[in-house]
Amino acid sequence: MPIECNVSARTWTLSGENVSYVLHRDEQDRLLHLYWGPRLPGNALHWNPADYFSFASFDLPVAVLPHELPVCGTGWYGTPTVGIRSENGDEVVDLRVVSAELRPGKPPLADLPSVYTESDEEAETLSILLQDKVTGLTVTALYSVFEYSGIITRSLFLRNDGNTTMTVTSLLSASVPFWRSDLDAVHLNGAWARERSIVRMPVGPGDLRISSARGASGHEENPFLALCEKKTDENTGCVWGASLVYSGSFQALCHVDNFGHARLSLGMNPEVFSWVLDPGETLTSPEAVLVFSDSGFNGMSHKFHKLYRERLVRGSWRDRPRPVLINNWEGTYFDFDEDRLLSIAEKAAGIGVELFVLDDGWFGKRNSDNCSLGDWEVNPEKLPGGLSGLSARLHNMGLRFGLWFEPEMVSPDSKLYRAHPDWCLHVEGRPRTEARQQLVLDLTRTEVQDYIISAVSSVISSSSLDYIKWDMNRNMTEAYSVSLPPERRKETQHRYMLGLYRILETVVSSFPDVLFESCSGGGGRFDPGMLYYMPQTWTSDDTDAVERLKVQYGTSFVYPASAMGAHVSAIPNHQTGRKVSLNMRGDVALSGNFGFELDPAKLSEEELDEAKRMISRVKRLRNLTREGTFWRLISPFETRHAAWSFVSEDRREVLLCVYQTLSVPNTAPLRVPLMGLLPDAWYETEDGRRFFGAALMYQGITMSLRGDFSSSVLLLKARSL
C-alpha cells in the first residue's frame, strides 16, 4: 500500500519506490508536514510522530509549526497556501481537518492538465478535507503517490460552502517546510533564444522568488524550483524538485525564516491572480509534481522524464517515433510560393525527410509579421492551389504535411480584428499595447474559443494536415477581459488558461492522429501544461548548435528529450552568426525531435549526402533517444565540453554524445565517465572497439575531439563474450 494511515499516531505516510512523505493531523486538527525524503521503514508508522521526527512536541508557536497548508490571520506570517478575503474585508483563515479518504489510482483534475495513471495499481490518492468554520470555505488537498517512483502530486480543490461571497487572494499548489536551510536552490532562468540556463544559489534568510506575470510560463523562468544539499551534484546527494503543470503566470518561492527553516512553495502568482467564489462555487489549483531523489540531479530528472513522457503526454504520438521534419522558416521566412516550397520538399524527401512543415506566412496577406493573424485562410497569391493542393502534392511525394498557426493572436490589420475589435484583451479607455504588431485574443470568452476551434479544425480537415505547430508570440498586456465584471477582472489570466486548455482539449481530441508541437517564440511556454496536450515543444528559436548545448542541457533538468524540438539550420547561424560544422549541428539535433530548418537548395551535393546519412542514423537511433534514460555527463555551463548519453531500459545499448566548443592545444584527451551501464558487461562500438562496463563508468572513455565546434556520437552495445 503506498499510503498508510496510522490512526493512533494520526499520520498518513505516502510511500513509493525509495521515497516517503508524511503528514500529521495534530490534536487541534491542524495539518502538519512531518517528512519528505528517503523511504521510511514500515514499522516507523507505529512510533510517536513527535519522537520519530525529532520534534520536541507540536506545542510550538503557530509561526514555526511545520504547516502543510499554512494560512494567515492566526499567527502564521508567511505566504499562505490559501488566502481568502471574506465579504467583511478581513483575511483570516483557519483550516482544520474534517475527514480524509483513500482511493486507488489518481483522478483527473477538472479543466486542468495533470499527470495520469493507466491502471489503479500505479498510484494511490489521499484526499484530506479541511474547513474554515467561519467563512464556510472547504479545501480538499489531493495527494497522489506513484508506486514506481515515489513521485507525489498535489493540488487543492476549493469550495465556498458558506453563505457569503469570498475572494481567493493566494493559491499555492504545494508548500513544503524543511527543518533546515543548509541548502541550495536550483531554477531554470533565461530569455528569448537562451532559455533555461541552470542557476544554482544558496538559500538564505528571506525570500528567493522566481515568477512569471506574463500570462505564459515564459522564457525568463520555468515553473520549476528545486532545493538540494550543498554536496549534491549530478549523481549524488539529495534533491527535492517541484514542477507545476501549468502554462500561465506562476510563482515559486523558497522562504527561510528566522529559525533557519526553509519552505519551498509553488503555485499561482498573486500579482496577476485573484478569484471570486460565490456560495457553491469551486476552484481547482494547478497540480504540483514533487520529486525526491537521493541520487543527484540526474536521479531527479529521470523521474520527471519518465513521468512526463509516459503519464503526462497523451495520445497516439506518445509512444511513436516522431517524424524527421523540414521546416521552411529559416529557409525562406515570408518569401515563398508554391514552387519554392515544393522544390524544398522534393530535395528533403530525397534525403529521407518525412514531414514538411510550412511555417508563418501562408494566410491572409501576411508577407511580414505586421498583419493577418486571425485570418486563417490561405493566401492564393502564394498558394494558388490552396492548402489542399499543396497537401496533395506533398502527400504524393510521400511526405506528411504540417502547418504553423498562431491561433491565440490577432493582428490589428486583419479581417478578424475589424469584425471584432473587442475580442482582444484590453482595458476601456487605454491604448492597446502591441508587441510584434499583434494583440492577444480574449480566450476567457466562449465565442472566441469557439472561433479558434472552428478556424483551426476546418483547416486541419480541409487540408488533411498531419502536424500543427501551435505558436504564441507575445506576452499579455492590459490583461483584463472586458466581458468580466470589475471584481472578477483579476481572474482574466487564469480564465484565459482555462479557455486555452478547453480549446486544446477539443482540437487535439478531434484529431487524434495529428502530431502537435507547441511553441512560443521558441521555448517561451515549455511547460508540463502544454505537454499534456502536445507531446513536443519547439525548444528555442536559437538554432545555433553551440548555444543549443546549454538550452537542451538545461531543459533536460525537468523535460525529456522526446519533448524537445531540435533542428539543423544554415550557417552562419541566423541568431549568433556562428559557423558550426554540419556534423556537430546534426549531433546536437539528434538529441531531440530531429529536423531541418533551412533551404536544402543551398546545400552542396556533399552536404546533402551527409544530411542523408544523418537522417538514416536518426531513424535507427530515434527509439533510443525517445525512450532511453538520459544522463547528463559533462556540463556545457562549466566546461568547454558537453556530454550526455541515452541508455536503453535493459542497459545494453548506449548512445554517447560528446561535444567540444573551443579547442585548446596540448591538453589531455577528454575523458567521459559513463553512467547507468551494466558493470560486468562488455560494450562494443560500431567500429568494433570493446570496453568493459565498469571501466566505462569508473574510468571513462577517452575521446579525441579536434577543432572548434566538433562532436562525436558513439553507439555502444553490450555483447556476450
Q: Which residues are catalytic?
A: 471, 541
Residue position matching grid coordinates 497522489? 144
Least separation in angstroms between residue 193's CB and ligand GLA is 10
What are the percentages of helix, strand and coil residues in the chain, rounded to 5?
Answer: 25, 30, 45
Cβ proximity to ligand GLA: between 538 and 631 the closer is 538
Burial class (CB in 10 A: 0-12, 13-18, 19+), 484: middle
Element (H, E) at 667: none
* Helix boundaries (H) for 118-271: none
Contact 287, 312 (CB under 8 A): no
Cβ proximity to ligand GLA: between 359 and 408 the closer is 359
Residue position matching grid coordinates 499561482? 268
Contact 318, 308 (CB under 8 A): no
Contact 359, 469 (CB under 8 A): yes
Q: What are phi and psi of 14, to 5 degrees?
A: -100, 115
Contact 244, 308 (CB under 8 A): no
Contact 68, 141 (CB under 8 A): yes
Residue 253: helix, strand or coil by DSSP? strand
41: its cell numbers: 521503514
Pairing of the two strands 409-410 and 564-569: unpaired
CA distance 75 to 65: 10
Q: What are phi and psi of 207, to 5 degrees?
A: -105, 135
Least separation in angstroms between residue 472's CB and ligand GLA is 9
Q: Which amino acid is at 29?
A: D
Pairing of the two strands 224-229 and 183-189: antiparallel
| Contact residues for ligand GLA, defined by CB under 6 A | 329, 359-360, 369, 404, 471, 473, 519, 521-522, 538, 541
DSSP 226-244: EEEETT--SSSB-EEEEEE
Residue nearest ligand GLA by beta-carbon distance: 360
CA distance 221 to 225: 10
Cβ proximity to ligand GLA: between 160 and 540 the closer is 540
Q: Identify which of 367, 377, 453, 364 has the alpha carbon closest to the alpha carbon of residue 408.
A: 453
Contact 403, 511 (CB under 8 A): no
Cβ proximity to ligand GLA: between 304 and 470 the closer is 470
Least separation in angstroms between residue 517's CB and ligand GLA is 10
End-to-end CA distance of the chain: 43
* Helix boundaries (H) for 463-593: 492-510, 528-533, 545-555, 582-589
618: its cell numbers: 536518426
Least separation in angstroms between residue 361's CB and ligand GLA is 8
In this structure, the number of other CB atoms found within 10 A of the CB of residue 124 comes to 23
Radius of gyration of the chain (CA): 26
CA distance 28 to 97: 9
| 255-266 per-residue burial string, b: 16 or more CB within 10 A, e: under 16 | bbbeeeebbbbb
Residue 390: helix, strand or coil by DSSP? helix
Cis before 572? omega within 30 = yes
Residue position matching grid coordinates 483513500? 102
